[in-house]
């Protein structure tokens, strides 16, 4: 809770149970004697772990038995935060670099790759996949992979996909695919569940 109130620190009784007391640029207008009298009052006003915030030109004077400076601790903490920030920035840069390399390997791989979810929706497809089906990669996203399989083999693929998501090893099957403007083609499909268990990676190889 934050309370705003007008108070004469010299004449009025002090507040109590404060977490922080900000007197920035107040003490510089008071005599050293008055500053010395106010320090015990400030200490009384604060909770045991309370903080007295002073201006850069002010100090606690001889009241070192009542207050201990936090500036050094804050500076050390700031350095620690800066080091952590540098480490996080480096880790982010390394992750972005690794992601860029992975994206290049995935998109430009000569093998046809898809990423499917449990029901066979296409979550990702590389450029080779778009070339195989003669359709833009963006148009493949969200489509059912089974739509590119001939009707006679869709049930086979459905059972295969279920097996992929309960198996810890790579599974494979052979189906006939339909491609835009061309005759159906036989292909071998290899798939393995990805780490989170929500998607699987699919590689399609044309059987000559």
Question: How far is the C-alpha of 159 from the C-alpha of 120, rounded, in Å?
Answer: 11
Whether the pLDDT of residue 200 is over 90: the answer is yes
More confident call, 16 vs 71? 16
Other residues' Cβ atoms within 10 Å of the Cβ of residue 125: 27
Contacts of 178 (CB under 8 A, 6+ apart): 148, 149, 150, 184
Residue listed under structure tokens 């909770």? 47
Continuous segment of H or E residues that includes residue 206: strand 199-206
What confidence tens digit (pLDDT) does each residue in 49-76 have? 888 777 777 777 777 778 777 765 666 6
What confidence tens digit (pLDDT) does each residue in 132-189 have? 888 888 889 999 999 999 999 999 999 999 999 998 899 999 999 988 777 888 999 9
Question: How far is the C-alpha of 172 from the C-alpha of 185, rounded, in Å?
Answer: 17
Tokens (6 digits) for 1: 């809770």
pTM over 0.75: no
More confident call, 4 vs 198? 198
Whether the pLDDT of residue 7 is over 80: the answer is no
Question: How far is the C-alpha of 55 from the C-alpha of 189, rounded, in Å?
Answer: 71
| pLDDT for the residue 166 | 92
Listing DSSP states for 175-189 in one string gives EEEEETTEEEEEEEE
159 in Cβ contact with 177 (< 8 Å)? no
Q: What ranges in 8-135 are assigned the alpha helix state H?
A: 32-45, 71-107, 127-133
Torsion, CA 64, CA 70, CA 71, CA 74, rounded to 10: 170
Taken as a whole, the chain contains a residue count of 208
More confident call, 109 vs 100? 109
């Amino acid at each position: 809770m934050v309370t705003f109130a007008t108070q004469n620190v010299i004449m009025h009784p002090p507040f109590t149970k404060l977490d922080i007391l900000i007197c920035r640029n107040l003490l510089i207008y008071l005599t050293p004697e008055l500053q010395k009298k106010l320090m015990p009052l400030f200490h009384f006003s604060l909770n045991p772990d309370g903080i007295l915030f002073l201006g850069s030109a002010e100090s606690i004077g001889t009241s070192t038995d009542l207050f201990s400076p936090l500036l050094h601790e804050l500076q050390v903490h700031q350095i620690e935060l800066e080091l952590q920030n540098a480490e996080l920035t480096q880790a982010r840069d390394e992750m972005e670099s690794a992601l860029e390399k992975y994206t290049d390997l995935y998109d430009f791989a000569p093998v046809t790759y898809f990423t499917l979810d449990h029901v066979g929706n296409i979550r990702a497809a590389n450029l080779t996949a778009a070339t195989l089906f003669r359709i833009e990669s963006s148009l493949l996203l969200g489509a059912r992979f089974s739509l590119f399989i001939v009707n006679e083999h869709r049930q086979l693929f459905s059972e295969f996909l279920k097996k992929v998501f309960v198996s810890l090893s790579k599974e494979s099957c052979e189906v006939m695919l339909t491609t835009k403007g061309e005759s159906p083609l036989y292909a071998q499909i290899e798939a393995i569940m990805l780490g989170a268990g929500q998607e699987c990676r699919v590689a399609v190889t044309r059987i000559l």
